[in-house]
Structure 1
Amino acid sequence: MQLAGLSPDAVTFACVLNACSSVQDIDKGRKIHAEIIRQGLIGDDVVLGNALLDMYAKCGALSTAQYLLQWLPSRDVVSWNALISGYTLLGQGEQALRCFEQMQIEGFSPTSVTFTCILEACGSIGALEKGEEVFYEIAKQELFENNIVLGTATVDMFAKCGALSKAQQVFQNLPSRDVVSWNALIAGYAAQGQGNQALECFAKMQQEGISANEVTYSCILDACGSLGALDKGTEVHHEITRQNLLQTNIVLSTAVVDMYVKCGAFQSAEQVVEELPLQAVAPWNSLITGYARQGQSDQALKCFKLMIHRGINPDAVTFTGVLNACSHLGLTDEGLMHFMSMKKIYNVKPDIGHYTCMIDLFGRSGQLDKAMEVIKEMPPGEDLAVWSALLGACQKWGDVNVGKRAFEHSVELSQNDAAAYALMANIYATASLYNDAEKVEV
């Protein structure tokens, strides 16, 4: 268009900004913003201003979006919705609620879009009381009629907040239900460990003629895994395979592997991983972590080596499983090798979980001096789990001196950590330091 000598106007820029939002191209969006300013096009054009705001919000530049909202010459509820939606999508529920309150203070009435975003924000942070307040306002305005999205968002909010009876009640009163509505309820039951209820909902959904999708199957596989319902899980796996859903969906393939692992059917889990055309790390992680948790650490390490041989790069989750496996097998040298390779070879930054694994690894073998060295190499910011792991190792090996240091750090981080006091008292008692043991009190 520009090559043809035609100059873009406000409508053109709004369309291009929407395109930038959809592909999250913030660099292009910033260039468009600069050109809009140069041409002095914003003015009182609320549509163009909203397009800019939406672009920054969807690209994750929420501080810029917030600043822009404050300085827009004119704004409406769509402007606020763009910002609230941005905070919600990035999991910043508290900030979304603050924007919602400020919007109302400024006299803007929320729309169905606003309420949908706020319900999602409430669900993400477990803000049940606020979610109920929003629900009653929606009901008062009779917005549920013919609005399946808003109804589903309400079911999802109650389910995520653990209020499953209320989620069920809202669900039953919905004027219409689709697969997304059913998924919200099924996912809620599965997430709360109520696998039987999830399976019952799934059966009722099928009876009503609603076809399951990938999200449904993922939730049902999770429920089967939590219940150890291998037969039902296998049945779902076969249906997924029949629909050719497994070959291109990493989340679903991982859910299948995870279900078999939790049901103890490791041979089936391995077979699924072997047959996947996807070079994805997540299904392998599920298998490796499953073996490690079941005490089959040697199998976990074999899977890790096979994964590397296949050219699949490990991630942080992989190394947690591998380090745990090394710890349980007493393979300190191999564990240290894998720990060192994380950053040097695979560019994976160790987190607090990996450091805790290393302390457990050295602690099990009595190398408490090396465990202390690991702690010294940790980035700034202490964590109770690290010192608790070291304190437990000190009890095992009767190391009073290192134990005292670990205890001091533990109680500094949490004065009411009863486990730390009990461990330190036992360390003193084992060393026949009974007077010191008696002085250790919460």
Structure 2
Amino acid sequence: MQHEGVSPDSLTFTSILKACGTVKAEVKGKQIHDKIVQQGLLDGDVKIGTAIVDMYAKCGNLIKAQHVLEELPSRNIVTWSALIAGYAEQGQGEKALSCFEMMKHEGIVPNAVTFVSALKACGSINAAEKGKQIHDEITRQGLLRNNHVLATALIDMYAKCGALKRAKRVLDELPSRNVINWSALIAAYAQQGQDEQALSSFERLQDEGLSPTSVTFASTLKSCGSLKAAEKGEKIHYEIERRGLLHNDHILGTAVIDMYAKCGVLSKAWTVLEELPYQCVSMWAALIGGFVQHDKGEQALHCFKLMQQKGISPNVATFSCILNACSHLGLVEDCFRHYSSMRCKHGIDPDFEHTTCMVDLFGRAGHIDRAVKLTMEMSFSDYPILWYALMSACHKWSNMNIGRWAFRHSVQLDAQDAGVCNLMANMYKANGVESYVDIDSCTDQ
């Protein structure tokens, strides 16, 4: 268009900025922004100013987005909503709510879109009381009557803040409910371990004639796995199969496998995995985790080998399972080989759980020096559980010198840890030592 000598107008610029935000093309968006400024199009044009704010927000440059907003000669509810949504999406709840308050101070009344973002911000920072205030504003404006998106945001906010009774009350008081409202509540119950309530809500959803979505099914299967409710989970699986939902949904496929694995129906979990037209690492991790959970370490290692033969690289969760399997089987060198391969072969930095597992296995096998070396090499040696694992090994092998050294490190991190003090006392007793000077000083702090 520009090559033909046609200059873009405000509408064209707005469309291009929207496209830039969608594909996160900030450099191109910045060039468009500069052209708009050069042509003096920002003066009095709220729509184009809002489009610039929205573009920067969607690209993640929230500092620039807010700077643009503050420099605009005029701004409206849409402009503010774009910035608030950007902060909420990036997990910056405090800043989102700060902008929400600034907007209201300018006399701008929030709309449903703004409220959705503000509620998301409240949920991200566990601000239940602020969320309740916003809930009251929404009620005063009468916005809940037929806005399912806003109702779902309210339910989700209360759920993330742990206020599940309030979340359920919101849903119960809605004049009409849809599957998204119910799914938000069921997911919350499943995430917070209130699995009976999740299954009960699933039944109510169906009783109201609503058809569960893949999201609903995944949350419900999670609760079935937690409750070891294999029969209920199998019924849900058949319903999913009947509706043909497994063929292109990795999350749902993983949820079915994980449910069977947690229920101990490992043959069925494996059959589901083998019959799927696609496989991903999360599915294999669920199956391997099931074998480890049910003390079938050799089968877990076999699955791990098969997974890699199929060209699927392990992830953090898979390695957690495999290291635990090796640990339970006492396979010290195999465990260390897998641990070492994380960084050098797969580009995964071991976390403190992986390292604690390795330290614990070295310690139980009597390789105290290797356990110490590994502990000292790690950047997260400020985790008490790591030192506790080392102390346990020293207790088993009566290594008082390293045991006391590990104890001193541990109490520097948490001087009130009764478990550590008791372990050190037991170590003294087992070795016939009657002086507990360092334990006394630890508990006196």
Give 1:297-376 correspondences, 5 Å limit: 297-376=297-376
Q: CA deviation at 1:218?
A: 0.6
Q: Deviations over 1:154-178 (max 9, x none)?
A: 1222223232222222112112211
State, as a whole percentage, how many aligned pairs show the same letter: 49
Deviates more, 1:394-403 or 1:283-292: 394-403
Q: CA deviation at 1:332?
A: 1.8
Q: CA deviation at 1:313?
A: 1.0
CA distance in 2, matches of 1:260, 1:189: 20
The equivalent of 2:277 in structure 1 is 277
Q: CA deviation at 1:382?
A: 2.6
The equivalent of 1:405 in structure 2 is 405
Q: CA deviation at 1:308?
A: 0.2
Q: TM-score, normalised by structure 2?
A: 0.93
The equivalent of 1:262 in structure 2 is 262
Give 1:21-420 correspondences, 5 Å limit: 21-379=21-379, 382-420=382-420
Q: CA deviation at 1:271?
A: 1.1
Q: Deviations over 1:162-196 (max 9, x none)?
A: 32222222112112211101111222222232222
CA distance in 2, matches of 1:67, 1:384: 44
Over 3 Å counting, the alpha-carbon distance change for 1:235 and 1:142 in structure 2 is same
CA distance in 2, matches of 1:112, 1:362: 57
Deviates more, 1:228-237 or 1:362-371: 362-371
SS in 2 for 1:28: helix
Contact in 1 for aligned 2:190/2:198 (Cα 8 Å)? yes
Contact in 2 for aligned 1:424/1:440 (Cα 8 Å)? no
Contact in 1 for aligned 2:262/2:293 (Cα 8 Å)? no
Q: CA deviation at 1:7?
A: 2.2
Contact in 2 for aligned 1:183/1:215 (Cα 8 Å)? yes
CA distance in 1, matches of 2:73, 2:407: 58
Contact in 1 for aligned 2:261/2:289 (Cα 8 Å)? no
Q: CA deviation at 1:29?
A: 2.6
CA distance in 1, matches of 2:421, 2:71: 55
Over 3 Å counting, the alpha-carbon distance change for 1:388 and 1:17 in structure 2 is farther
Query: What is the letter of the counterpart of residue 357 of structure 2?
Result: C
Q: CA deviation at 1:43?
A: 3.2
Query: What is the letter of the counterpart of residue 50 of structure 1?
Result: T
Q: CA deviation at 1:420?
A: 1.6
Contact in 1 for aligned 2:87/2:95 (Cα 8 Å)? yes
Query: What is the letter of the counterpart of residue 206 of structure 2?
Result: Q
Deviates more, 1:38-47 or 1:323-332: 38-47
CA distance in 1, matches of 2:387, 2:107: 51
Q: RMSD of aligned C-alpha atoms?
A: 2.1
Q: CA deviation at 1:272?
A: 1.3
Deviates more, 1:342-351 or 1:216-225: 342-351
Q: Could you list the runs of 5+ residues in structure 2 that have no partner in the other structure? A: none
Query: What is the letter of the counterpart of residue 421 of structure 1?
Result: C
CA distance in 1, matches of 2:169, 2:321: 41
Over 3 Å counting, the alpha-carbon distance change for 1:428 and 1:135 in structure 2 is same
Contact in 1 for aligned 2:342/2:349 (Cα 8 Å)? yes
Q: Deviations over 1:12-51 (max 9, x none)?
A: 1211121222233334333333433444433333222222
SS in 2 for 1:435: coil
Contact in 2 for aligned 1:77/1:110 (Cα 8 Å)? yes
Query: What is the letter of the counterpart of residue 117 of structure 1?
Result: S
CA distance in 1, matches of 2:397, 2:29: 60
Q: CA deviation at 1:205?
A: 1.5
Q: Could you list the runs of 5+ residues in structure 1 that have no partner in the other structure? A: none
Contact in 2 for aligned 1:362/1:371 (Cα 8 Å)? yes
Contact in 1 for aligned 2:291/2:300 (Cα 8 Å)? yes
CA distance in 2, matches of 1:137, 1:399: 64
CA distance in 2, matches of 1:358, 1:63: 43
Q: TM-score, normalised by structure 1?
A: 0.93
SS in 1 for 2:176: coil
